[in-house]
Amino acid sequence: MKSNKPRNKTNKYNSNPKGKKAPSAAKIQHAESRRRRQNSAPVTNKSASENSQYIQWFPGHMTKTKRKIQADLKLVDAVAEVIDARVPLSSRNPDLPSMIGSKPTVILMNKCDLADPKSTKQWTQYFKERGIKAIELNCKTGSGINNFTAAVRDVLSDKIENWAKKGMINRPLRVMVVGIPNVGKSTFINRISKASKAKTEDRPGVTRGNQWFTLSSGGVTIDLLDTPGVLWPRFDDQQVGEKLAFTGAVKDNVTDSQQLALRLLEYFKVSPMRMFCERFGLTKEDISEKTSFELLEMIAKKRGMLISGGEADVERASIMLLDEFREAKLGRITLDKIGD
């Protein structure tokens, strides 16, 4: 089933505000079942480093996908590597260069609508300085999509010239679309081909096999090969794993949502964003003086998320916090900083 909708379009956790519609039974059930899937670690007031968890997600189908990508590489002229603008480095698979060799590559920095616009410009410049063709995209609206064909023609200019010499004019350009899970590969294909043929959903691991799509753009025919998202066997830097869990590239049920939310709060403690503070009625003093766990409790209480005895339902608040981060309701945040 196709679903392009962001998770929790309405705020199902905003249980208390006066006059607001109560969440439906189906939504509550969905939230409950998602909660049950989490590994239920005990709630404690741990220090920052104690909240970190070992994250790894490399199921068997990713090994198969890697092989399939390598096998199909001979069928394409170029590669479009889709990355997440909120994590432009962490969302680049370090195994990709060895998988695709010297195939001309264009980077599609997607989900720019969720990232900090200033950081996105800096990242575009970063890639440019390294001789890497990168374009900014928002596949929700289609912004930036018109630059794709020119970018592909640019990285293939030598090839196109050679084809022309051999009389091959208007030869279709074949491009393999690759990237980590849930970055919007299939959404990009649907958007550029003005069709909804590729299955998309707001969870990682939706596309399961390589599939071709053909489109015409500015008199150029492009064959796009959609591929399943691939991660790598081990995150050497666990912060990378965490960032990919925050953005939804790692399956939720392999992480502990409370620990993840506490780690996310640590980012906000370092850079307290105005939108985040306002959303939960937190002051700068709260952010600097409280522990992440205390902040999570405050957030839960502000949203009326309580368990019996009036205690904060931190587990529920954790899931809500992660969802709201993913929808940029806490601000447009880029987690990878140049120079980190």
Q: Which residues bind Mg ion (CB under 5 A)?
A: 185-186, 206-207
Q: How far apart are CA 186 and CA 229, in angstroms?
A: 10
List of residues 6+ apart from 93 with CB closer than 8 A: 99, 178, 179, 180, 230, 231, 232
Cβ at position 4, least distance to ligand GTP in Å: 4
Minimal distance in Å, beta carbon 136 to Mg ion?
20
For ligand GTP, give the closer residue by CB, 31 or 262. 31
CA 106/CA 114 separation, integer angstroms? 21
By CB under 6 A, tell whether 140 contacts ligand GTP: yes
Rank residues 20 and 208 by Cβ distance to ligand GTP and give the closer one.
Answer: 208
Instruction: Please state, in angstroms and as integers, the Cα–Cα distance from residue 277 to each residue in 133, 287, 288, following that order.
Output: 37, 8, 12
CB 333 within 8 A of CB 276: no
Instruction: For residue 184, state whether it binds ligand GTP (rule: CB under 6 A).
Output: yes
Report phi then psi at 312, rounded to 5. Answer: -70, 135
Residue 124, SS3?
helix
Measured from the CB of residue 65, what is the shortest distance to Mg ion in angstroms?
Answer: 11
**Token output for 63:** 């090994």
- Find the part of the chain contacting ligand GTP (CB under 6 A) among 38-46, 98-106, 108-116, 161-169: 108-116
**Could you say which of Mg ion, ligand GTP, none residue 201 binds, taking C-beta under 5 to 8 angstroms by partner kind?**
ligand GTP
Task: Select from Mg ion, ligand GTP, none the partner in contact with residue 171, using the beta carbon and a kind-dependent cut-off of 5 to 8 Å.
Answer: none
Distance between CA 145 and CA 178 in Å, rounded?
A: 16
Of 183, 118, 111, 109, give the one whose Cα is nearest residue 140. 111
Q: Is residue 138 close enough to count as binding ligand GTP by CB under 6 A?
A: yes
Q: Indicate whether 8 belongs to the interface with ligand GTP (CB under 6 A).
A: no
Smaller CB distance to ligand GTP: residue 115 or 300? 115
Q: Kind and range of the H or E element at 174?
A: strand 173-179
Instruction: Confirm or reject binding of residue 185 to ligand GTP (CB under 6 A).
Output: yes
Interacting residue ranges for ligand GTP, rule: CB under 6 A: 4, 6, 110-111, 113-114, 138-140, 179, 181-187, 200-202, 204-207, 228-229
